Amino acid sequence: MDKVRTPDERFENLPDWPYAPRYVEISDGLRVHYVDEGPADGPLVLLTHGEPTWSYLYRKMIPLLVDAGCRTVAFDLVGFGRSDKPTSGDDYSYEGHVGWFDEIVRAIGLRDITLFCQDWGGLLGLAHVTLHPNLYRAVVAANTGLPIGQNHPLPQATVEWLEYSLKDPSDVGEIIGGDSPLNTNDYRGLSIDEKRAYNAPFPDETFRAGARKFPRLIPNTVEHPSSAFCRRLYDGPVQACQVPLLTVFGDLDTVTIQAEPVLQATFPGAAGMPHRQVAGASHFIQEHAPEACVKAILDLHAQIA
């Protein structure tokens, strides 16, 4: 497997990101980056990002969680952030990423996890929760879902993203900041330095194979190579998963909002939970409503204590 590693200097002097990098190595010699902040004996919160972002997306939530006494871990998915990036799109698959996810969790030594997952952080993280529920204490699923592996229409916003990602140079700062034609609802006026931070992992096209491939890994038809994997999850592990699950969706998110009732109806641990929508928040809810996201985590901890 050929891979590239973003130079360290790309991550120097990023705003609101004082965290020392930590690394674990998984299969194929892949080095994965993570941050680990807060008291070692505090309740563990794992923050997982989606595409095309990295753990920098959680820069507003990490200090709030640490102040609340939580051990807070965030790792960069393979192909993103400071983690190694296989250079061929053929190296990326849904099942492969779930396997990497499991390797990362075990390499860091995480257990009794409260997972906060968004976008692909949930497509992967929720699959992992159903396969390994013994590792998890609770889940907050924000603007994400778990594909059912059957023929179903994607939201128009998702279709537009698939088309956009084929031809756009993937200026992540523009996407998160809402200056692209895709996410006008997401505009929150990111600074130049914040946009630089989001773009840091991708010096050129060589580093973007994962970001390019991810939208095509969504198993939304029965013909998709990963549809059988998702159907097996729903046929057994999902129905047996009793891990408490709370949904927190931005009311302006047009990309994943259709997944909200599916999660609430199919995950047994979601029954009777105080699910909530966050007014004025769109797809990148960590940028728009970090306090509400952290409150949801802490409220969930209090409820299941």
Domain range annotation of the chain: 3-304
β-sheet bridge partners, residue 36: 73
Torsion, CA 61, CA 67, CA 68, CA 73, rounded to 10: 50
User: Span 143-164, mean pLDDT?
Assistant: 82
Mean pLDDT for the chain?
92
CB 128 within 8 A of CB 270: no
C-alpha 37/C-alpha 175 separation (Å) is 28
Q: What is the reported pLDDT for 172?
A: 85
Q: What is the reported pLDDT for 249?
A: 97
pLDDT at 284 exceeding the cut of 60: yes
Looking at per-residue pLDDT, the higher value among 173 and 41 belongs to 41
Percentage of the chain with pLDDT > 70?
94
Catalytic (active site) residue 102: no
C-alpha 212/C-alpha 26 separation (Å) is 22
C-alpha 178/C-alpha 9 separation (Å) is 26
Contacts of 292 (CB under 8 A, 6+ apart): 248, 278, 281, 285
Q: In what order do the strands lie in the sheet with 71-75?
A: 22-25, 31-37, 71-75, 44-48, 113-118, 136-142, 245-250, 276-278
pTM above 0.85, yes or no: yes
Q: What is the reported pLDDT for 166?
A: 65
Catalytic (active site) residue 275: no
Q: Which of 49, 128, 132, 283 is catalytic?
A: 283
Q: How confident is the model at residue 266 (pLDDT cuts 50, 70, 90)?
A: very high
Q: Which of 84, 91, 253, 288 is catalytic?
A: 253
Q: How confident is the model at residue 254 (pLDDT cuts 50, 70, 90)?
A: confident
For the domain with range 3-304, which CATH number is right: 3.90.1150.10, 3.40.50.1820, 3.40.50.620, 3.40.50.720? 3.40.50.1820
SS3 call for 246: strand
Nearest Cα to Cα of residue 258 among 228, 220, 287: 220
Catalytic (active site) residue 2: no
Q: Which of 76, 84, 119, 186 is catalytic?
A: 119
For the stretch 207-251, pLDDT in tens is 999 998 988 899 989 999 999 999 999 999 999 999 999 999 999
Q: How confident is the model at residue 177 (pLDDT cuts 50, 70, 90)?
A: confident
User: Span 2-30, mean pLDDT?
Assistant: 97
